Chains A and B, each alone.
Chain A
Amino acid sequence: MSTLIIYFLGAFVRYWLITSEYQNVIAERIEISTPLNSWKRVTEGLHLLKLGIYPYAGDSLHESPLNLLAFNCLVKIFGEYLHIVFVVCDLLTSHLLYMSAKKYMEQIRKTQERNKANYAADAKDLLLTDKDFALSPIYVCVVYLFNLYTIFNCVGMTTTVFGNLFTALFLMALNYGSLFAALPLAIVISQSFYPILLLSPLFLHFVVTRKSYIKAGAAVVLCVMFWSIITYLCYRIYDRWDFVENTYGFILTVPDLRPNIGLFWYFFIEMFEHFRSLFIYSFQINVTILYLIPLSIRFRQDPMLLATSLLSLTAIFKSYPCLGDIGFVLSLYPCWKHLFNYIQQGFLVSCCFLVTTILGPTVWYLWIYSGSANANFYFGVTLAFATAQIFLITDILFSYTKREFSLIYGRIRKLNSKKAQLMLE
């Protein structure tokens, strides 16, 4: 009953905002709509399609042709009531996250039962109780439904809403150990490319929890196959390949330097021309393969944590990040509610989130509308925002390792009855 009320409230807030006069203002915010996900650009693409103009001739549209076709169907079917689709999709996402969190908590419970014998005597307090197992999924759902970032993302009618839906579907299928996870993953890869990193948790899940290399390999092959099929279908729609330049090419080469909450825009506005390609390569390597292998090795036992940390790092470092990506990752963190005790910079990070969320639109207004600030102000805010997110994810990963240590070696930090300190070496 209470969960129903939560869903209802979440839907109400979204519906109220999306039908209000603020919808336009929210949809135009650069923090919410980037060139990649703005509905305005999809509308433009559909309009060009209607006039018989090839939509990828210009550079306003960065959705794949298949997505454009799907949006065209959506617009045709729902017409004026299109905003309801966004609200429903967002609710669906929250429910899928709830389901995946529930399944994940079950896995944790199983692991805990299995390893209980190895745990230190004084680590009993650290074990998760039934209450924890029951609460975490609800928290995940509540955070997704009532997180300002996701609400605004939905109200702004960005295509990230659909991206989040398929990512949530992928996470659920992953936790249920279904090979079906490959399909939603292929869809999100075709939309925003960076989720290609999630192939690693997909592979590891089947290796670690299902102990099956064949299934793991099959999952990856399936995903790549689905992706190829999607790409081929995209090609078949117009029999032209130049959509690749407008989708993946656009994501990777970052030609549009419109500000967003990421690190790319000001960096590449101010870049010296002869270093541009060097830094584009290094920034893209930073977000794609730099952390992939180390994290995959270190957290191979917990593919869900691995997936979350990869999602979080891409949300911070990708070329066109938006609040919807960050809201999605934030709503996954309550799965590790039991780690929050170990978090060292919780206060700093929450203050940072609060301040940057308020300061961002303020300095944007000062810069763009009243002309009394300049680009550096907004850049500073995005830097602080990125730093806060980095602190949060690294803190959670640290906490995870600390808890692992405490479970096995106990909570008392003493070495030969002398005071000792826990250090990385």
Chain B
Amino acid sequence: MKALLTLLAISSTAAHCTSDSFTEELFIKPLYTEHIYSHFHFSTIWNTDLFSEKFRHTHLFPRALGEIIKRHNVQELHLSLTAGLWRYETWGYPVTSAAPGAELWAWFKSDTEDVNSNWKDLASSLSGLICASFNFIDSSNSVSPQYSFWPNGVINEQKVNSSFLRYSSLPREIVCTENLTPWKKLLPCESKKGLASLLNSGYIHNTRYHSLSIHFRPICRDPKCKFTSIEVQQSVDLVYDYLILGSRNWSVRKLFGQGILGPCPLAKSSTVYVDVSSNSTFPFQLSPEPHEFVYSSRGGYESKFAKYEITEQPLALAANYIDKPSVVINSPPALHANQYLTGYGQELGGIVTKLFNNHWNTLDVVVLQNIPWYVPIYLHTLKILSNGVVLEPLSLKYIPGKLRERPYYLEIVLTLPPRSTTLISINFEHVFLKWTEYPPDASHGFYISSSVISSLLPLARNYTGLPQDATMIVDSFNKSGYGYLVQVRTEAMVVTLPTPDFSMPYNVICLACTVVALAFGPLHNITTKRLVLKPDNKEGLVGKIKQKLDVIKSKLTGTKEKSEDSSSK
């Protein structure tokens, strides 16, 4: 009997072991400028059905996340917390792009009844899970884009209905250690073992750009897609500046404060890839020698990666540049964008999005703008100029915003002419808020979140993004496809709204009511009283003074008489 029980226990754990897997990867790429990019990629796949799974018991999959997903009927979830701005023009494309601040988008299951309340609750739960201000997300700053965001994973329906999608971003969110710690706790080994142990807040917040993200989706278990699994990808993107590091020669110890001490014992694979494609222009020597070189040909571009399998043996990875630094001409990627505010004063203004197409052919792009309700835009002022020529959008989706209720949602589909700069400008008015609606530092300004520009690039130059069916970075090698999806996020903007005098409420109430009373008094008199002649008692100022003097005089003389009387007595 005992033996049977043990056997059962062993078989059940074995079943669990085979049903989920965890991989960890670190991808390091020297950027063409004075920066180095490192990307941590942790993915967990669990062979279970999203619809029937109750998340009562999990093995490698983070249960805290699973419970939230179950409770709020989530089909797919993508969240990121970012500090700094990814410079597409010089850095190329990241593996996962993210908007400055906090960004969250989720697809809900098609049987969800009240998407809005689920969305708000989901955001609040996530804010508790990773200590970020996601609780400020509600329907007043969320949109349901029709073109920009599609489900990344498996869907049951033939048609995608964007009413089950919500997208929102909080550009003011500050990302710090308090977000990193709970984020690391979602990993199977937390930060105790494996690559995650490199994520020391003292080092990773010392970067030009850092971004934490969690992507959850259901995926196909096999090519036929008869069964589905669920997958969570957690990644950290870091861009170090050589100036901050002190030299161009980098090492894992310099970047993260310690060497790689070993893999996470729960991980199926634990690998480091270093992009050495730039080695021909900027020769550097890796030490120790990589275990093998991986060649990847993707979208017309060849890349070479040095691969290190992490073993129990500590690994002190370092790179030494052989040549002196030289100036290189930046070749920007096919598509990048900027966004800025125009106008001066606090009455009228404009938002300009500048799209650069450096490709030799036309590019179809989707521009999504989620403009907060406190920046009311006028659609009739929308101008799209490409190299000075008016460009007609292929499609335009617009839902006007409502004061304190709904943001302005604008999505434009455009065909950018080859080698062009396209300006999308729109005018807005500054609103005047109630005094309680201003944040404590009212003059700091209000944020306008970045716009998202999506496109399928025909070539994979400067492209490191994962294909849709990829779980790991290694899946993206030699993976040429029809197009390479990029989502370029622009800068977030700050607009200063005119402020009232916060110390004045009582005075304003008193003064305005006085003016109302000024009308009420005379009108009340005119309408309720009648004119009569009255004897004039006024004698002018001199007469009044004389009268007063007389009174005093009489008093004085009266007292004198009195005192005389008393003395005589």
Q: B-contacting residues of A (Cβ < 8 Å)?
A: 28, 30, 40, 43-44, 46-48, 51, 53, 57-60, 255-259, 263, 265-273, 279, 283, 286, 290-291, 294-295, 297-298, 313, 316-317, 367-369, 374-376, 379, 383, 386-387, 390-391, 394, 397-398, 401-402, 405, 409, 413-416, 418-425
Partner of A313, one of B401, B434, B519, B527: B519
Partner of B499, one of A48, A375, A422: A375
**Is there contact, CB below 8 Å, between A376 and B516?**
no
Quote the shortest CB–CB distance from B313 to chain A (angstroms).
63
**Is there contact, CB below 8 Å, between B433 and A257?**
yes
Quote the shortest CB–CB distance from B427 to chain A (angstroms).
9
Partner of B403, one of A59, A290, A368: A59
**Is there contact, CB below 8 Å, between B436 and A273?**
yes
Chain B residues with CB below 8 A from A402, complex form: 531
Further pairs besides A271-B434, A368-B346: 12, Cβ < 8 Å: A47-B379, A53-B398, A58-B408, A60-B376, A257-B431, A257-B433, A258-B432, A286-B516, A286-B520, A383-B515, A391-B518, A397-B522
Q: Is B534 an interface residue (CB 8 A)?
A: yes
Quote the shortest CB–CB distance from B426 to chain A (angstroms).
11
Chain B residues with CB below 8 A from A30, complex form: 347
Jot down 26 A-B pairs with beta carbons below 8 A, ordered by A.
Answer: A44-B380, A47-B380, A53-B400, A60-B378, A263-B512, A266-B500, A268-B434, A269-B433, A270-B509, A271-B509, A272-B505, A286-B516, A369-B344, A369-B347, A376-B504, A391-B518, A397-B522, A415-B533, A420-B536, A422-B532, A422-B533, A422-B534, A423-B531, A424-B530, A425-B530, A425-B534
Partner of A420, one of B505, B511, B535: B535
**Is there contact, CB below 8 Å, between B401 and A58?**
yes
Q: Is B399 an interface residue (CB 8 A)?
A: yes
**Is there contact, CB below 8 Å, between A257 and B523?**
no
A255: nearest residue on chain B (CB-CB)? B403
**Is there contact, CB below 8 Å, between B509 and A51?**
no
Partner of A270, one of B431, B500, B526, B535: B500
Tell me the complex Cα distance, A287–B504, Å: 24
Q: Is B160 an interface residue (CB 8 A)?
A: no
**Is there contact, CB below 8 Å, between B432 and A58?**
no
Quote the shortest CB–CB distance from A215 to chain B (angstroms).
26
A409: nearest residue on chain B (CB-CB)? B533
Given A375-B499, A390-B519, A267 contacting B531 (CB threshold 8 A): no
Chain A residues with CB below 8 A from B529, complex form: 424-425
What sequence of 0s and 1s flags, for each residue 468-507 of chain B, a beta carbon within 8 Å of any chain A beta carbon? Answer: 0000000000000000000000000000001111001100
Chain A residues with CB below 8 A from B524, complex form: 294
Chain B residues with CB below 8 A from A374, complex form: 499-501
Chain A residues with CB below 8 A from B505, complex form: 270-272
Tell me the complex Cα distance, A421–B531, Å: 10
Q: Is B525 an interface residue (CB 8 A)?
A: yes
Interface of A is mostly: helix
Chain B residues with CB below 8 A from A283, complex form: 516
Q: Is B528 an interface residue (CB 8 A)?
A: yes
Residues of B376-400 contacting chain A, CB below 8 A = 376, 378-380, 396, 398-400
B537: nearest residue on chain A (CB-CB)? A421
A365: nearest residue on chain B (CB-CB)? B345
What sequence of 0s and 1s flags, for each residue 415-443 of chain B, a beta carbon within 8 Å of any chain A beta carbon? Answer: 00000000000000101111110000000
Chain B residues with CB below 8 A from A416, complex form: 535
Chain B residues with CB below 8 A from A391, complex form: 518
**Is there contact, CB below 8 Å, between A387 and B534?**
no
Chain A residues with CB below 8 A from B533, complex form: 409, 413-415, 420-423
Q: Is B544 an interface residue (CB 8 A)?
A: no
Chain B residues with CB below 8 A from A405, complex form: 531
**Is there contact, CB below 8 Å, between A258 and B345?**
no
Given A294-B523, A298-B526, A424-B529, A390 contacting B515 (CB threshold 8 A): yes
Partner of B532, one of A268, A270, A419, A423: A423
Tell me the complex Cα distance, A44–B508, Å: 34
Number of A-B contacts (CB under 8 A): 181
Tell me the complex Cα distance, A379–B525, Å: 28
Q: Is B253 an interface residue (CB 8 A)?
A: no
Tell me the complex Cα distance, A257–B525, Å: 33
Chain A residues with CB below 8 A from B396, complex form: 51
Quote the shortest CB–CB distance from A377 to chain B (angstroms).
10
Q: Is B402 an interface residue (CB 8 A)?
A: yes
Tell me the complex Cα distance, A401–B527, Å: 10
**Is there contact, CB below 8 Å, between B379 and A368?**
no
Chain B residues with CB below 8 A from A269, complex form: 432-435, 500, 508
Chain A residues with CB below 8 A from B549, complex form: none
**Is there contact, CB below 8 Å, between B512 and A267?**
yes
Chain A residues with CB below 8 A from B515, complex form: 263, 383, 386-387, 390
Chain B residues with CB below 8 A from A295, complex form: 523, 527
Given A60-B378, A317-B516, A270 contacting B435 (CB threshold 8 A): yes
Tell me the complex Cα distance, A367–B504, Å: 16
Q: Is B8 an interface residue (CB 8 A)?
A: no
Q: Is B348 an interface residue (CB 8 A)?
A: yes
Quote the shortest CB–CB distance from B350 to chain A (angstroms).
13
B527: nearest residue on chain A (CB-CB)? A294
Quote the shortest CB–CB distance from B376 to chain A (angstroms).
7
Tell me the complex Cα distance, A415–B533, Å: 7
Tell me the complex Cα distance, A365–B312, Å: 70
**Is there contact, CB below 8 Å, between B501 and A420?**
no
Given A47-B379, A369-B344, A425 contacting B532 (CB threshold 8 A): yes
Chain B residues with CB below 8 A from A270, complex form: 435, 500, 504-505, 508-509
Tell me the complex Cα distance, A394–B519, Å: 7
Tell me the complex Cα distance, A176–B149, Å: 65
Quote the shortest CB–CB distance from B114 to chain A (angstroms).
21
Tell me the complex Cα distance, A317–B528, Å: 21
